[in-house]
Amino acid sequence: MATSGKPLSVAVIGAGMAGRTHAAGYRNVNTVFAAGLPPVRLAAIADANVALGEDAARRYGYEKALPSWEAVAEDPTIDAVSIVVGNDLHRPIAEALVAAGKHVLCEKPLAGSLEDARAMAELERTADVVTAVGYTFRRSPAISAVRDHVQRGELGDLTLFSGRYWCDYATDPNGPLSWRFKGGPGSGALGDVGAHVIDTAEYIAGPIAAVSGASLSTQIPKRPLPLGAVVGHNAAPVSDEFGEVENEDTASFTARFESGLVGTFSLSRTAFGLPNGLGFDIVGLGGRAAFDQHRPAEYLFDDAQPDARTRGARHIIAGPQMPYFKGGYPMEAPGVGGGNAEMFTYQARAFLDQVAGVEDPLPACATFADGLRTMEIIRAIVESSDRDGAAVTIPATS
């Protein structure tokens, strides 16, 4: 565990869209909140795509780019590492890093399979380092404010939670067959974007007890094979050969929370015109609240004041089509808007607070155990779909 006077040395494995946002977050951790965190040494960014890693290291001020995650694990000077690569690689990388005595922040979903997720949660239980999973939306000021309203009882008895994550990154049938389209049912829209909205629902409204009525579907069953590396959701040169998409483009299900609250959920990566559409409505007998990530700095709140009114508005969503955004924003993707990079900074700061033992730290990061729980819910959703929508119980929280 680092002490207050010793610099913390950090590295990021993965130099794509999300990896760069982790890199930017670490760079900014000492610019937010109270003093107390040691100086941070930006040690390395690792990526098999060496040019991509070198560019990220240059942009965010890291000392060097490394060609492999193994080089990070073998570097005794590195204290803490973010894993931001394909899901199937999470377990072997996390195991090697923990064995090397390094603290680990792993992107969601926790792993490529439930078996791997269980192994990682067991690894966490016995590890003598900090381990965390990247549920970044827990750091949204607006979402956290809605959670406070709920916890203070300001919505009254809750009656409905309706959550969604609608994205359009997979609407183009000529988009390359990247790793995101591999892995079987549950690893598509459910694992990629559903993990976030499932965790957000439990963060706000408490544990989910059962799911039912699940339906999974794939709108684009075949995609062209890429001719080279695919970075993030970007387009890439493709061949005339096509491969099978192995997971779902859309999913929907209902949920019953342990409190008795009813929830409805829908997820899509083929929702045209919705680049980054995490959103939810939560309703009670005395009020309601709503959030839309396309307007991340605000939320709707209605507590039945007699003069309360709403007005429609046309939303202009910030993205690479605007001056300065392309090339100037760490997560260079449509719809992330203002506030996304900040959430990654807050998450990185909370993680390093835990590593350094900062007095009065930010709320702790989600754990590998939290990541496993989400994957257990996803498995239950897939099982419900396989059983024609039958109810499937989720193991109770301890």
Q: Per-residue pLDDT for the chain (398 aa), expressed as one digit of tens each?
A: 444 468 999 999 999 999 999 999 999 999 888 889 999 999 999 999 999 999 999 999 999 999 999 999 999 999 999 999 999 999 999 999 999 999 999 999 999 999 999 999 999 999 999 999 999 999 999 899 999 989 999 999 999 999 999 999 999 999 999 989 999 999 999 999 999 999 999 999 999 999 999 999 999 999 999 887 777 776 788 899 999 999 999 999 999 999 999 999 999 999 999 999 999 999 999 899 999 999 887 888 888 766 655 533 344 555 666 555 565 555 667 666 567 888 899 899 999 999 999 998 999 999 999 999 999 999 999 999 999 999 999 988 76
Give the whole-angstrom CA distance, residue 282 versus residue 68: 44
What are the pLDDT digits (tens) for 42-80? 999 999 999 999 999 999 999 999 999 999 999 999 999
Residues 341, 346, 348, 349, CA torsion sign: positive
Give the whole-angstrom CA distance, residue 125 versus residue 119: 10
Identity at 7, one-letter amino acid code: P
What is the enclosing helix (H) or strand (E) of 103?
A: strand 103-107
Give the whole-angstrom CA distance, residue 275 versus residue 296: 13
What does the pLDDT read at residue 324? 53
Give 228's DSSP letter. Answer: S
What does the pLDDT read at residue 80? 98
Third-level CATH fold of 141-336+371-392:
Dihydrodipicolinate Reductase; domain 2 (3.30.360)
The model's pTM is: 0.90
Give the whole-angstrom CA distance, residue 284 versus residue 124: 37
What does the pLDDT read at residue 298? 82
What are the pLDDT digits (tens) for 168-193? 999 999 999 998 999 999 999 999 99
| Token pair listed for 17 | 């869209």
| Residues β-bridged to residue 106 | 83, 133
CA 191 and chain centroid, separation: 10
Residue 304: strand, helix, or coil: coil
Give the CATH architecture of domain 8-137. 3-Layer(aba) Sandwich (3.40)
Domain residues of the chain, as ranges? 8-137, 141-336+371-392
DSSP output for 157-206: SEEEEEEEEE--TT--TTS---GGG-SSTTSSHIIIIIHHHHHHHHHHH-
Residues 236, 242, 245, 250, CA torsion sign: positive
What is the enclosing helix (H) or strand (E) of 266?
A: strand 262-268
